Structure 1
Amino acid sequence: MITLYRRDEQAWNYREAWHDEAAGEFVIHHGVLGANGKLTSEKAAAEEAEQLLESFIAQCRADGYTEPPAESQIQLRLLYPLKGETPSASEERNIGAVHRDVLAILAWRGLGLLSDPVIEAHDGGHASVMQITTLHQGKAREAVKAAMRGGDVPASKIELRVG
């Protein structure tokens, strides 16, 4: 998947594309950062997908879309504190649910990347940590809150921190 951004006077816009091998489709997702984007797809074999991706990149570049500058990217840490050094079965389920829910809402709104959960030392104990890389801290925070409201895991079970 390739994701490119353009900053205009009012907001960040994004365009991303990928080849869905299972469906045999070339998919384009685009919109304003923080709002649900639009999705289009067309049938494409793997051989065609490479050429379509190159054309997509060329068109994006012509329209002013680029990779976001490093100084514009913000890192957030989504923590699920654990009761022990490793997650229990119920904690594993909750971590998986949080990851799926947050990943989906970030993706649909073009808000950035979410890493897979990793166990780290945290406040004298351990936590499952997922790293969010985004261009808009406020909208990413709101998206995480929305994901938690719509999910099965209580928001009180997670922490969201900068850095």
Structure 2
Amino acid sequence: MITLYRRDEQVWNYREAWYDEAAGEFVVHHGALGANGKLSSEKAGAEDAEQLLESFIAQCRADGFSEAPEEAQVQLRLLYPLKGAEPSASEQRNIGAVHRDVLATLAWRGLGLLSDPVIEPHESGHASVMRLTTLHQGKAREAVKAAVRGGDVPASKIQLHLDPDRAGRPGQ
């Protein structure tokens, strides 16, 4: 998957494309950052996918889209504190549910990348940590909260913090 961005006045727009091998489709997803994007697809064989992706990139570049600038990116840490050094079966289920829900919500709104959960030391012991890299901290926070509210894991079990090592420009 390739994702490219363009800043228009006060809004980031995104375009992303990928080849869905299982469906045999070339898929394009685009929109304004933070709003549900539009999806289109066309039937394509694997041999056509590379050419379609190259054409997509060329058109995006011609329209002023590029990779997200490093200095504009912010990283948030989504934590699920654990009772022990390793997650219990119910904690693993909850972590998986939160990851799926948040990932889907972020993806539909073009809000960034979410890492797979990893266990890390935390002030209260250990936590499952997912890192979210985004161009808009406020909209990403709203999306995470909405995803958690819509799931079956209590919001009180989830913490969302700005990653001090990758703070970028907070407010964006």
Aligned to 1:32: 32
Q: How big is the shift at 1:2?
A: 0.0
Distance 1:5 1:39 in 2: 16
Q: How big is the shift at 1:124?
A: 3.9
Which ranges of structure 2 fall in alignment gaps of 5 or more residues? Answer: 164-172
Counterpart code for 1:127: A
1:98-157 CA-partner distances (Å, limit 9, x unpaired):
000000000000000000000000014000000000000000000000001110001100
Residue identity (%): 83
Q: Indicate whether 1:107 and 2:107 are aligned.
A: yes
Q: How big is the shift at 1:97?
A: 0.2
Q: Indicate whether 1:120 and 2:120 are aligned.
A: yes
**Number of equivalenced pairs:** 163
Provide TM-score, normalisation by structure 2. Answer: 0.94
1:48-91 CA-partner distances (Å, limit 9, x unpaired):
00000000000000000000110000000000000000000000
Distance 2:15 2:69 in 1: 16
Cα root mean square deviation, aligned: 0.4
1:8-157 equivalence runs, <5 A: 8-157=8-157
Which ranges of structure 1 fall in alignment gaps of 5 or more residues? Answer: none
Provide TM-score, normalisation by structure 1. Answer: 0.99
Distance 1:118 1:160 in 2: 15
Aligned to 1:159: 159
Asked if the contact 2:81–2:124 (Cα under 8 Å) also holds between the matched residues in 1, the reply is no
**Moved beyond 3 Å, runs of 4+:** none
